[in-house]
Amino acid sequence: DLWWKNAVIYCLDVQTFADSDGDGVGDFNGLTERVDYLAGLGVTCVWLMPFYCTADLDDGYDISDHYAIDPRLGTFGDFTEFMTVATDRGLRVIADLVVNHTSDQHRWFQQARQSRDSEFRDFYVWQDSVPDSGPTGVVFPGKQEAVWTYDTSAGQYYLHRFYRHQPDLNVAEERVRDEIRKMIGFWMAQGLSGFRVDAVPFFLETAGIDQAMELAPHDYLRDLRAFVDRRRGDAALLGEVNLPAEQQREFFGDEDGDELNMLFDFLGMQATYLALARGLATPVADSLRNRPDVPDESAFASFLRNHDELTLDKLTDRERQEVFDAFGPDPDMQIYGRGLRRRLPPMFGGHPHRIRMSFSLMFSMPGAPSLFYGEEIGMGENLNIEGRLAVRTPMQWDAGPVAGFTSAPADALTRPVPEGDYSPDRVNVASQRMDETSLLNWFERLIRLRKELPEVGWGACQVLDVDDEILALRFDWEGRRLVTVHNFSGHKATARFAIEDASRLDDLFGTAKPAAVRKQTARVELPAYGYRWLRLVS
């Protein structure tokens, strides 16, 4: 019942996945028609980016009504039909829980700004002047200048850690916390299996709030988790927590794990790109060794790309520049001075072995793998689109100017598709389905393999001592023993490591001969950017 320990998560935006009515915008009916594709791919959990009513100034993250469907995406009946079909195909569905802020068009804020006596005034954070001790540091450098904005109707400044059109909710206000519980309860009643919780550290932040909070921030997170467990015992909270390792551990809760069920492994992702840039596995090995121990029922979620910028903010300036030089040397490929707005295949120049090694690595990291839509076919970005939206282009189902995404003309697309080497004519689902050597068919085998190896999600993981260009991991769980080996270099390499409890290592993902074990030492040959998944046999 702890399904998240061994899940394969697939993130998509309804707006950019499939259009059923020919208006150029994806919708729930289009998504429902593609549920069998997701089930066939083998993913177990679909993560929906925001689909609620929105002012649409931040791609849906500026929510104006948490209980209503964005009319561009369909009706509530369309959503229910999607949930019914997804459940029938064995897929769990989670959705973004965006409760750090609302849109300034939300009725709460519109009423709050009209009068200090408004019942919604305390739903937001107000000050007569910018406080000296309040929160500092903008989230989007170059896009926002401050975290406080003066509202002439309210006659006060309001706090917004993100854009000025996204006022922060006041988590110290009990009625706000009640409303958040209601939102969670409402959507779980519609069948959701949990939530990806947006911007968790900002959500729990109380700096700048004069009102005393009766609960400590982590006590409130613990309270939310208890509410989720009461309403649906098998639901999960997956948190966006991009913090140093010692602070990450706090968000799992006590030793039994009574706060977030899962955290995205931002540190492991950033270490992976540094390792790929250097051709050395040591940054990933160090990241795994420094990972905090997590409660038995909790897990990390591994990823190589999500819907936001590919942030590198936890690397040093020098390390970040190494990654920029390798994968985004053009300033237009970079964003906010801390990340990249690119997808992985173009960063690797389309190198097939390097791409597959990287995703094999991600799937072999301890925890649950999380894919961003289109990664399974090697989609690229469109740098002609501003900011983070460069990687949020329509899903490429077929060749042609509209990628099989819609029946509308190309100029009606919600966003333009990539051009050149990553255009729909060169990268699409239809053609890869017909090619048994395609990335899509490779992904189906990888996902099937990962689901058959619960020790990766459940077992104890050990980083084995090998040469710096190789990462070798051993997993042990209930008598099952697995070793994964990945070569980060562009040349042949040999992994040698101690094995005392096996006579050979059988290949699980390929056609290579078993690796021999002699004198309690295994010897595994790897081609450039090679990888092997090996079962220990006594």
Are the C-beta atoms of residues 63 and 50 closer than 8 Å to each other? Answer: yes
214 is catalytic: no
* Helix ranges, 311-407 (H): 317-327, 344-347, 352-363
> Cα dihedral sign for 320, 322, 324, 330?
positive
DSSP-assigned letters across all residues of 456-482: HHHSEEEE----TTEEEEEEEETTEEE
The total of other beta-carbon atoms located within 10 Å of residue 513's CB is: 10
Instruction: Reduce the DSSP state of residue 238 to 3 states and report it.
Output: strand
Element (H, E) at 261: none
Are the C-beta atoms of residues 42 and 369 closer than 8 Å to each other? Answer: no
Among candidate residues 10, 7, 45, 52, the one with its CA nearest the CA of residue 28: 52
Q: CA–CA separation, 447 vs 429, rounded Å?
A: 17
Q: What are 471's strand-pairing partners?
A: 486
Q: Token pair of 288, please?
A: 């795994």
Rg (CA), the chain: 23
Looking at this protein, which amino acid is placed at residue 335?
A: I
Q: CA–CA separation, 57 vs 55, rounded Å?
A: 6
One of 168, 198, 309, 455 is an active-site residue; which one? 198
Can you point out the beta strands (E) in 341-405? Answer: 368-372
One of 27, 70, 78, 240 is an active-site residue; which one? 240
Q: CA–CA separation, 473 vs 347, rounded Å?
A: 26
376 is catalytic: no
Q: CA–CA separation, 425 vs 1, rounded Å?
A: 42
Q: Token pair of 406, please?
A: 């819609």
Are the C-beta atoms of residues 424 and 404 closer than 8 Å to each other? Answer: yes
CA angle, 472 then 496 then 485, to 5°: 25
Q: Where does residue 236 rank: exposed (0-12), middle (13-18), buried (19+ CB within 10 A)? A: buried
Looking at this protein, which amino acid is placed at residue 261?
A: N
φ, ψ dihedrals at 248, nearest 5°: -55, -40
Among candidate residues 102, 261, 259, 110, the one with its CA nearest the CA of residue 179: 102
Instruction: Reduce the DSSP state of residue 417 to 3 states and report it.
Output: coil
Q: CA–CA separation, 505 vs 516, rounded Å?
A: 7
CA within 13 Å, CB half, 441: 9
Are the C-beta atoms of residues 94 and 83 closer than 8 Å to each other? Answer: no
Question: Catalytic residues, which ones?
Answer: 198, 240
